[in-house]
Amino acid sequence: MHRFGPVLMQRLDQLLEFANFNSSVEEEYLQIAKCLEDMRQQCCQLDRDLQKARQQLHQSEYECSVLEVKLKHARNQVEVEMKKRRWAEAELEKQECKLQLIYDYLMADPQISPVTEDQHTNLAIVERLRSSCSSLLPRKQGMCAIEETGTSILSDISFDHS
């Protein structure tokens, strides 16, 4: 038995070293498993954050499309109102021309005019007042200041004519 003693002791030493090695490997495996679990939890959190960001993106895109539709309707309404205004201004100018023609006819010759001298004087006073008011407010040639300001603001906006 003495002969097997040193070999047996050597084998026992190897077994103890192997057990110690396994113990340190087991601790390393536990550390790796803990790191992997931490990584998994971080990935899960990032996935939740991604889902939340996607939902916010979809909500923002929806709100943007709603606002684009409202903007399109507002632009169309502005265009309609501008057409109405141009038509009303043209109509006003026609009526002013008619009024001027009637005034010129009535004031042309007092002897053939159907108005009396007193009415003739009153018409002359009204015409002077009207012409003085129109000289204070000159006839617009093109757009007024508000239209020009609005146009300059909208000049870089492309209108959707669909």
Q: Please, what is the end-to-end C-alpha distance for the chain in angstroms?
A: 105
Question: How much is the average pLDDT of 130-158?
Answer: 54
The pTM of this model reads 0.49
Q: What is the CA radius of gyration of the chain?
A: 47
25-40 pLDDT per residue, tens: 778 888 889 999 999 9
Counting residues of the chain whose pLDDT is more than 90, the rounded percentage is 40
Cα–chain center distance at 156: 13
73-105 pLDDT per residue, tens: 999 999 999 999 999 999 999 998 998 888 787
Q: Which residue has the higher pLDDT, 28 or 145?
A: 28
Residue 145: predicted pLDDT: 46
Residue 113: predicted pLDDT: 67
Token pair listed for 86: 């141009």
Backbone phi and psi for residue 114, each to the nearest 5 degrees, phi listed first: -75, 0
Q: With contact defined as beta carbons under 8 Å apart, do 160 and 75 qualify?
A: yes
Residue from 108, 144, 143 nearest 123 by CA: 108
Q: With contact defined as beta carbons under 8 Å apart, do 103 and 127 qualify?
A: yes
pLDDT bracket for residue 67 (50, 70, 90): very high
Q: With contact defined as beta carbons under 8 Å apart, do 113 and 120 qualify?
A: yes
| pLDDT at residue 122 tops 60 | yes
